[in-house]
Amino acid sequence: MISTWLTERLGLTLPLVGAPMGGRAGGRLAGEVSRAGGIGMLGAARYTTAEWIAEESAVARERGGGRLGIGLMTWSLDADDTLLGAALEQRPDLVSLSFGDPEPYVRRAHDAGALVCSQINSLEDLRVVESAGVDFVVAQGGEAGGHTGHVATLPLMQMVLEATDLPVVVAGGIGSGRGLAAVLAAGAVGGLVGTALLASPEADGPEYSRRRVVSAGGTDTVYTDVFDRARSQPWPTRWGARVIVNDFTRRWSGRPEVSDADLAASYDKDDPDLGVVNAGQSAGLVAAAEPAHDVIRRIAADAEELLARLR
Ligand SMILES: Cc1cc2nc3c(=O)[nH]c(=O)nc-3n(C[C@H](O)[C@H](O)[C@H](O)COP(=O)(O)O)c2cc1C
């Protein structure tokens, strides 16, 4: 069994966190990651409700042996922090406050008994979240699915590990035991996995999004803001999203002159060629719709075997 700061602080049997993924990570997915021995996080999207958080937290806890993590978007709390209150009412073990300055919210989360982490994309972000008082950071590289930054996982991980005394978890492209072994060998305390869980039957969302992740190769993603613009999502412009390439991205991505109204008119969430599937480059490692529990167990077991060989 691999033991790190993360496993010890959260009582895990393996050093993996299930990514908070808006629209995809509900109670079933988060619960299965926890049941496997890691900690799964609900992805509380900006448009979700307090009721959704309460219901899905109950499911996650029941499946996951009592463990609960919840991820929120910091920039959206700045406009309305209702979802933070709803999340803290559930007394989660872990709260992720990502994409923005978490300083106004860290004390409240600590007072509710949660550990707090933030996903970061640069050394500038690291300084912001360090001074906000988070317990650990998640270095999220640009290969990651969903909203992310521009620096790739490997250089970002090295920069962050060199620059902080806080425990570091790594996200972005971990899809097998080799990826987890690499980040643990480098000095991280764990890996955070999103894309590798997207084809699992426990992931929420349309069936086509599962199929697209299985069929996508490593070169079938693009970093773009076209879906945020099409759906009037007020994401700060510094964060684009990594998504699976389809007819919509081929037609509109990289064309800033096109109006948001034109993008909205072309977008169709029910059509796989015109809707969004957020996913990272590790989609190229997802070959089947494997249950989330098995994905997590396999990644951890393979990492353990690889690390034993190093010793
Ligand atoms: C479908 C999808 C939705 C996501 N939604 C969120 C979110 O709501 N909040 C968040 O902090 N990160 C979100 N992310 C980013 C993940 O938390 C995580 O950083 C990423 O999945 C890790 O990289 P990987 O996809 O290569 O495993 C999302 C990622 C994906 C793939």
Give 134-145 pLDDT, tens digit per residue: 999 999 999 999
Query: To test ligand 1's pocket by mutation, which of 116, 147, 198, 202 has the most ligand atoms within 8 angstroms of CB?
Result: 147
55 lies in the same domain as 146: yes
Whether 194 has a pLDDT exceeding 90, the answer reads yes
- For the CA of 175, the closest atom of ligand 1 is 27
Distance (Å, whole) CA 11 – CA 168: 17
93 lies in the same domain as 225: no
Helices 82-89 and 50-63 cross at an angle (nearest 10°) of: 30
Residue 118 within any structural domain of the chain: yes
Whether 310 has a pLDDT exceeding 90, the answer reads no
Distance (Å, whole) CA 6 – CA 183: 13
Residue 272 within any structural domain of the chain: no
Q: Are 216 and 279 in contact (CB under 8 A)?
A: yes
54 lies in the same domain as 172: yes
Residue 22 confidence (pLDDT): 97
Residues 106-136 have pLDDT tens digits of 999 999 999 999 999 999 999 999 999 999 9
- What residues flank ligand 1, with Cβ below 6 Å? 19-22, 24, 43, 45, 71, 73, 96, 98, 119, 140, 143-146, 171-174, 192-196, 278-280, 282
- For the CA of 99, the closest atom of ligand 1 is 11
How many angstroms separate the alpha carbon of residue 172 from the centre of ligand 1? 9
Query: To test ligand 1's pocket by mutation, which of 17, 21, 295 has the most ligand atoms within 8 angstroms of CB?
Result: 21
Whether 20 has a pLDDT exceeding 90, the answer reads yes
- Nearest to 96, CA basis, from 120, 73, 71, 113: 71
How many angstroms separate the alpha carbon of residue 140 from the centre of ligand 1? 9
How many angstroms separate the alpha carbon of residue 209 from the centre of ligand 1? 14
Distance (Å, whole) CA 172 – CA 194: 8
- Alpha carbon separation from 195 to 102, 117, 130, 224, 283 (Å, rounded): 25, 19, 27, 17, 6
Distance (Å, whole) CA 294 – CA 290: 7
- For the CA of 41, the closest atom of ligand 1 is 17
Residue 126 within any structural domain of the chain: yes
Residue 231 confidence (pLDDT): 96
Domain count, the chain: 2
Q: What residues form DSSP beta bridges with 169?
A: 138, 190
226 lies in the same domain as 262: yes
Q: In the chain, pLDDT over 70 holds for what percent of residues?
A: 100
Q: In the chain, pLDDT over 90 holds for what percent of residues?
A: 98
Residues 199-246 have pLDDT tens digits of 999 999 999 999 999 999 999 999 999 999 999 999 999 999 999 999
Residue 40 within any structural domain of the chain: yes
13 lies in the same domain as 158: yes
229 lies in the same domain as 189: no
120 lies in the same domain as 252: no
Residue 1 confidence (pLDDT): 84
Give residue 290's domain range: 5-204+286-310
Confidence at 311, pLDDT banded by 50, 70, 90: confident
Burial of 69 (0-12, 13-18, 19+ CB in 10 A): buried
Residues 156-190 have pLDDT tens digits of 999 999 999 999 999 999 999 999 999 999 999 99
How many angstroms separate the alpha carbon of residue 21 from the centre of ligand 1? 5
Q: Whose CA is nearest to atom 5 of ligand 1?
A: 21
175 lies in the same domain as 213: no
Core vs surface per residue 275-287: b (16+ CB within 10 A) or e: bbbbbbbbbbbbe
- Read off the amino acid at residue 157: M
- Nearest to 234, CA basis, from 151, 172, 147: 147
134 lies in the same domain as 172: yes
How many angstroms separate the alpha carbon of residue 57 from the centre of ligand 1? 18
- Nearest to 210, CA basis, from 230, 227, 196, 193: 196
How many angstroms separate the alpha carbon of residue 107 from the centre of ligand 1? 24
- Say which CATH number the domain at 53 has: 3.20.20.70
Distance (Å, whole) CA 154 – CA 150: 12
Residue 81 within any structural domain of the chain: yes
Q: Whose CA is nearest to atom 1 of ligand 1?
A: 278
Cα 186 to chain center, whole Å? Answer: 21
134 lies in the same domain as 152: yes
29 lies in the same domain as 172: yes
Residue 282 confidence (pLDDT): 98
Distance (Å, whole) CA 240 – CA 289: 27
151 lies in the same domain as 295: yes
Residue 214 within any structural domain of the chain: yes
- Alpha carbon separation from 261 to 101, 154, 266 (Å, rounded): 30, 38, 9
Helices 50-63 and 27-36 cross at an angle (nearest 10°) of: 30
Residue 258 within any structural domain of the chain: yes
- Alpha carbon separation from 289 to 2, 113, 201, 209, 285 (Å, rounded): 26, 35, 7, 11, 12
Average pLDDT, the chain: 97
Q: What single DSSP character describes residue 186? A: H
- Nearest to 284, CA basis, from 185, 175, 200, 210: 175
CA geometry: angle 294, 299, 305, nearest 5 deg: 120
How many angstroms separate the alpha carbon of residue 303 from the centre of ligand 1? 22
Residue 275 within any structural domain of the chain: no
